[in-house]
């Protein structure tokens, strides 16, 4: 693999680097009649649910899309996106190929098991090492081209999978650029200033990262966790989730001393979920907040999610944009490259972003 490709395992919250083979092996979850103790989470309901909260929906085709995108990033750190131009048929194809992959036997999928020193292929959640219980999910990671790992699984039948993933990645890259452009316009940067912002200026040098997650149906969904709470290490994450099957939840700040609460992101056919990542919080000097999120499971229906992680080129240092500091306001965070931050995330998990805070700044 190209030496400029960073180890993306902490970003995608999936690869376990503790063991090249054993870490991938867990029970065939679909066949279980009850949740085993290894997968039983006592803290699933540690916070209330925001039943009246509604995640904002933003139509990117509207004239005031910049304002709507910016407000959603400030107030929620996430939103549902319509009018994005990604064909619904492509979303269906990618989901179909994901189901094709995860329906294979464990032995078949393990042909592309992720090994030490790599970030791609089939594997269990990286963040599982921070928890005593296992997740009710499995994943497949694509960094750059999917072809090498896909050939291991389908030596003669990988073309449909690769074609769908490559087209999806290309359109997600374009969409991520448009979203970040809108986000920076909202923050007050001019078109000329945006053209010199590092992540956009050098986006063609970044390596695309795509994560397919599969959450099997669960006999006791109140006891199992699909994926534990975390923030993303990206600039921006774009997620397609299965139509009609809820599972993604955002942690909504209580504000004014109120309790934080979980808010479900109800799937809308054709809509994508946009999540602000840790690095954009750094770049915005705290104006936009990366949102804590998790995935829960369903009793009767399996769920697929496809997450695209937009990050900067490996050698580019991300730091607060000077114009966003203002008079008397210094940087809230020190600068960091993506590989450096991923190493922090791997070590500190959800405390990684706080470790970048500077006492002189605010954010």
20-65 pLDDT, tens per residue?
A: 333 444 567 877 889 999 999 987 887 888 777 899 999 999 999 9
| 288 touches 237 (CB < 8 A) | no
Question: Where residue 129 falls among pLDDT bands split at 50, 70, 90?
Answer: confident
| Domain range summary for the chain, segments of one domain joined by + | 58-325
The reported pLDDT for the residue numbered 193 is 86
The reported pLDDT for the residue numbered 140 is 95
* Region of poorest pLDDT, from 5-19, 204-218, 278-292, 313-327: 5-19
Q: With 50 as the cut, is the pLDDT of residue 3 above it?
A: no
The reported pLDDT for the residue numbered 261 is 92
What's the rounded Cα separation, in Å, for the pair 281 and 167? 29
Question: Where residue 251 falls among pLDDT bands split at 50, 70, 90?
Answer: very high
* Region of poorest pLDDT, from 82-91, 186-195, 203-212: 203-212
The reported pLDDT for the residue numbered 343 is 92
Kind of pairing, strands 57-59 and 78-82?
parallel
What's the rounded Cα separation, in Å, for the pair 159 and 169? 15
- Determine the Cα angle at 99 with ends 95 and 104, to 5°: 155
The reported pLDDT for the residue numbered 152 is 96
The reported pLDDT for the residue numbered 109 is 94
What's the rounded Cα separation, in Å, for the pair 8 and 16? 11
The helix/strand count (H/E) of the chain reads as 10, 14
List of residues 6+ apart from 41 with CB closer than 8 A = 133, 223, 224, 225
pLDDT tens track for 197-214: 767 666 666 777 999 999
pTM: 0.90
pLDDT tens track for 173-189: 999 999 999 999 999 99
**N-terminal to C-terminal alpha carbon distance within the chain:** 37
What's the rounded Cα separation, in Å, for the pair 353 and 338? 12
Query: What topology does CATH give the domain 58-325?
Result: Jelly Rolls (2.60.120)
Looking up tokens 């809308």 gives 268
Q: With 60 as the cut, is the pLDDT of residue 297 above it?
A: yes
- Residue 177 annotated as catalytic: no
Residue whose C-alpha is closest to residue 318's, from 330, 334, 331:
334
| HSE of 349, CA atoms in CB hemisphere, 13 A | 12
- Distances in Å between the Cα of 74 and the Cα atoms of 71, 77, 239, 321, 356 are 5, 6, 19, 16, 20
Token output for 332: 């809230």
Torsion-angle region of 125 (φ positive above 0: left; ψ -120 to 50: alpha; else: beta) = beta
Q: With 70 as the cut, is the pLDDT of residue 18 above it?
A: no
| 278 touches 64 (CB < 8 A) | no
Residue whose C-alpha is closest to residue 40's, from 245, 217, 218:
218
The reported pLDDT for the residue numbered 6 is 45
The reported pLDDT for the residue numbered 69 is 98
Active-site choice (47, 99, 303, 343):
303
């Amino acid at each position: 693999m190209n030496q400029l490709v960073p180890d993306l395992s902490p970003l995608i919250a999936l690869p376990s680097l503790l063991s090249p083979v054993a870490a991938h092996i867990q029970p065939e979850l679909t066949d279980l009649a009850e949740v085993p103790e290894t997968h039983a989470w006592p803290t699933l309901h540690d916070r209330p649910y925001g039943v009246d909260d509604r995640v904002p929906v933003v139509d990117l085709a509207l004239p005031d899309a910049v304002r709507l995108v910016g407000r959603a990033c400030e107030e929620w750190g996430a939103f549902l996106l319509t009018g994005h131009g990604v064909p619904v048929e492509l979303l269906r194809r990618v989901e179909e190929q994901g189901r094709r992959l995860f329906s294979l036997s464990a032995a078949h999928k393990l042909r592309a098991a992720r090994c030490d020193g790599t970030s791609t292929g089939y594997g269990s959640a990286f963040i599982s090492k921070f928890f005593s219980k296992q997740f009710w999910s499995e994943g497949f990671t694509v960094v750059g081209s999917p072809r090498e790992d896909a050939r291991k699984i389908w030596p003669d039948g990988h073309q449909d999978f690769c074609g769908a993933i490559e087209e999806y990645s290309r359109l997600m890259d374009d969409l991520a650029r448009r979203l970040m452009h809108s986000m920076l316009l909202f923050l007050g940067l001019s078109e000329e200033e945006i053209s010199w912002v590092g992540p956009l200026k050098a986006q063609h040098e970044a390596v695309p990262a795509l994560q397919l997650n599969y959450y099997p149906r669960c006999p006791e969904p109140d006891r199992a966790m699909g994926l534990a709470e975390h923030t993303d290490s990206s600039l921006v994450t774009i997620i397609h989730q299965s139509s009609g099957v809820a599972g993604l939840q955002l942690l909504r700040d209580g504000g004014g001393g109120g309790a934080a609460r979980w808010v479900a992101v109800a799937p809308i056919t054709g809509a994508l979920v946009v999540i602000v990542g840790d690095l954009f919080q750094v770049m915005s000097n705290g104006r936009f907040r990366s949102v804590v999120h998790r995935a829960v499971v369903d009793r009767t229906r399996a769920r697929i999610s496809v997450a695209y992680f937009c990050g900067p080129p490996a050698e580019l240092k991300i730091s607060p944009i000077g114009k966003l500091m203002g008079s008397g306001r210094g940087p809230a965070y020190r600068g960091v490259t993506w590989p450096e931050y991923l190493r922090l995330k791997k070590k500190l998990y959800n405390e990684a972003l706080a470790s970048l805070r500077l006492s002189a700044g605010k954010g």
